[in-house]
Structure 1
Amino acid sequence: MQVKCTMGAKPFEMIIDTPLGLDGTNEGPSPLLVILASIGACIVAVTKFWAKIMDINITELKVFSRGHINLGAIFGLDDSKLAGYDKLEPVVRIKADAPKEKIEELMEKVFSHCPVITNLGGASPITPKLQIRE
Structure 2
Amino acid sequence: MSLDNVKDALTKTIAGIQNAPNTSNVVFRADTEWVEDVRCAAKVRQFDPITVDEPPELGGKDSAANPVELVLVALGTCQEIMYAAYASVMDIQLDAVTVRARGYLDLKGLFGLDPSVPPGYKRITFETEIESPADDDKLRKLIETVEGHCPVLDILCRAQSVSGKATANGRVLHNLATNAA
Matching residue of 1:39? 75
CA deviation profile, 1:14-45 (whole Å, cap 9, x unmatched): 10111122222211111111111111010000
| Residue 15 (str. 1) matches residue 51 (str. 2) | yes
Matching residue of 2:122? 86
* Alpha-carbon shift at residue 123 of structure 1 (Å): 4.1
Alignment of 1:1-134 (within 5 A): 2-9=37-44, 10-133=46-169
5+ residue gaps, structure 2, are 1-35, 171-181
5+ residue gaps, structure 1, are none
Whether the 8 Å contact between 1:118 and 1:124 is mirrored in structure 2 is no
Whether the 8 Å contact between 1:18 and 1:29 is mirrored in structure 2 is yes
Matching residue of 2:15? none
Q: 1:42 to 1:11 in 2, by over 3 A?
A: same
**Runs of 4+ in structure 1 over 6 Å off:** none
Larger Rg: 2
Alignment TM-score, normalising by the size of structure 1: 0.92
Q: 1:12 to 1:123 in 2, by over 3 A?
A: farther
Aligned pairs, how many?
Answer: 134
Alignment TM-score, normalising by the size of structure 2: 0.69
Matching residue of 2:3? none
Q: Indicate the percent of aligned positions where both proteins have the same amino acid.
A: 28
SS across alignment from 1:130: strand
